[in-house]
Amino acid sequence: MSNEASTALDNSASIASYIDHTLLKPEASEAEVRQICAEAVEYKFKSVCVNPLWVKTVTKALKGSGVLTCSVVGFPLGATPSDVKAFEARGAVLDGADEIDMVINIAAARAGDKGALVDDITTVAEAVHAGGAILKVIIETSLLNDEQKILACAASVEAGADFVKTSTGFNGGGATVEDVALMRKTVGPDLGVKASGGVRSLADAQAMIAAGATRIGASSGIAIVKGEQGSSAY
């Protein structure tokens, strides 16, 4: 475990720098989006993660704060053509997103089609990197067996992604210590691993970081840093 991870495990406040403070529910209002931006600035979270509709709002609200803007594409199903995901990603980056979390072609992962996965991820990675942003790849672990998870992670590495991520939080299940450890083992030390879906407490976050996560996606970020128990499903 790195010294950074060790510090985070001992200090709830330092875990804030791992957290993507997340609001992805489709009915989210502008007032709610602005609220999570204010919270992210107050608690010094790593980023605010929202649907593409809100990227401009978030970027403006976070300007000068040091908190990043994160958005999602192909979300939450991943079942859109790669060029459509890339178009969506380019738009989000132009609107100010620093990071993009894409959902893979889950059917291709379940079919064992690595080539299709690499093509899907590469198409989006090229669009994201051209805009100077980073790409996280959501493999949706709850829908894959271990062999398929390994395949999706290997495809992400080959395609030039910056992170692999466990879950959308919308398709059942969520991050587990076992999945995070498997993903870290597969991608090696250089790619980021984001644990998301069901991380609701400081203990949850600590366990994910100990297993190899370098980012936590959560809508319970405040509860996590306060050492309390969050109630959100994401």
So which residues are the catalytic ones?
Answer: 101, 165, 194
Please give the Cα distance from 42 to 84 (Å, whole number): 35
Q: Tell me the Ramachandran region of residue 8: left when phi exceeds 0, alpha when psi lies from -120 to 50, beta otherwise.
A: alpha
Please give the Cα distance from 58 to 49 (Å, whole number): 9
Tokens describing residue 159:
């395609």
Please give the Cα distance from 77 to 151 (Å, whole number): 18
Please give the Cα distance from 89 to 218 (Å, whole number): 21
The H or E element that residue 69 is part of is: strand 68-73
Q: Mutual orientation of helices 177-187 and 146-159 as an angle, nearest 10°?
A: 40
Tokens describing residue 150:
């390994």
Neighbouring residues of 155: CB distance < 8 A, sequence distance ≥ 6:
104, 109, 114, 117, 118, 121
